[in-house]
Amino acid sequence: MSSAPSAPSDPSRHDRPPPRATAPAVAAVVASLLVLASALVVFLLRDTLTTRSVEGRPYAVASGAAGIATAGSGTTPSRGPIAGTDPVAALTRQAAQDRSRVETFVGQWIPQISAKAPGLVVDGRTFDDAAVLADVIASRDRFPQALLLRSDDYTSFRRGGFWVTVVGTSFPTPQAANAWCDQQGLAPDDCFAKRLSHTEGPQGNTVPR
């Protein structure tokens, strides 16, 4: 039985140009290039952000009322939620964190924006430890440069036992500090010029509005 003759080869097929890529193949190549380009951009941005130094004043960024700032110098502090549920512990910890920063303002005029103690009655409201803490948080939320201190630590306060919030910005005169209070729209009893001291008494270191 003889085999069937093979079909003659078509010599012209070797001279034809290669078939064009189909549309799906082109789209796949383009998508791959876009993914590679995006990855390169992300890598470069990450490298820039991790090596860039942060410049600006301390307490430059405010946060929600659920957080309280930590003291710092030259960098923006983090404002995370207050750890624990004990208001006294939270206040004590915050005052300790702010202490070194507060000390830089001793002998200078700064605005005092709050002074609260458990048992204090203001407009019919009696403050307890939790209310004092809430007042401190509200003040720092509005004024990110605010600092917390204990009146016991400075001789320029008439009474001890108060948690005092001051603004970490000094002024050349008490009048200038009080002008800042005016600009903020704060009541005279809520904001006035104060000068911290470890040796001098209250007289001459408090200028009401």
- pLDDT tens readout for residues 103-122: 999 999 999 999 999 999 99
Share of the chain above pLDDT 90, in %: 59
Long-range CB contact pairs, 122-131, < 8 A, 24+: 129/87, 129/88, 129/91, 130/87
For the chain, domain boundaries? 87-207
Which of the two residues, 30 and 202, has the higher pLDDT score?
202
Cα–Cα distances in angstroms (integers) from residue 193 to residues 27, 101, 105, 112, in the given order: 69, 18, 13, 6
**Confidence check: pLDDT of 80 > 80:** no
Give the pLDDT of residue 49: 30
Which of the two residues, 157 and 9, has the higher pLDDT score?
157
Give the pLDDT of residue 29: 60
Average pLDDT over residues 184-192: 96
Q: Distance between CA atoms of 170 and 104, rounded to whole angstroms?
A: 10
If one counts every other C-beta atom within 10 angstroms of the C-beta of residue 202, the result is: 15
**What pTM did the predictor assign?**
0.62
**Confidence check: pLDDT of 174 > 90:** yes
Average pLDDT over residues 159-178: 97
Report helix angle 129-142 to 87-103, nearest 10. Answer: 40
Q: What is the pLDDT of residues 32-47, one digit of tens each?
A: 666 555 544 434 433 3
Average pLDDT over residues 11-35: 54
The amino acid present at 209, given as its one-letter code, is R
Cα–Cα distances in angstroms (integers) from residue 177 to residues 34, 37, 98, 189, 208, in the given order: 57, 54, 20, 14, 10
Q: Cβ distance 147 to 154 under 8 Å?
A: no
As a whole number, the mean pLDDT across the chain is 75
Average pLDDT over residues 65-86: 42
**Confidence check: pLDDT of 89 > 80:** yes
Q: Distance between CA atoms of 36 and 30, rounded to whole angstroms?
A: 10
Q: Cβ distance 192 to 207 under 8 Å?
A: yes
Give the pLDDT band (50/70/90) at residue 60. Answer: very low
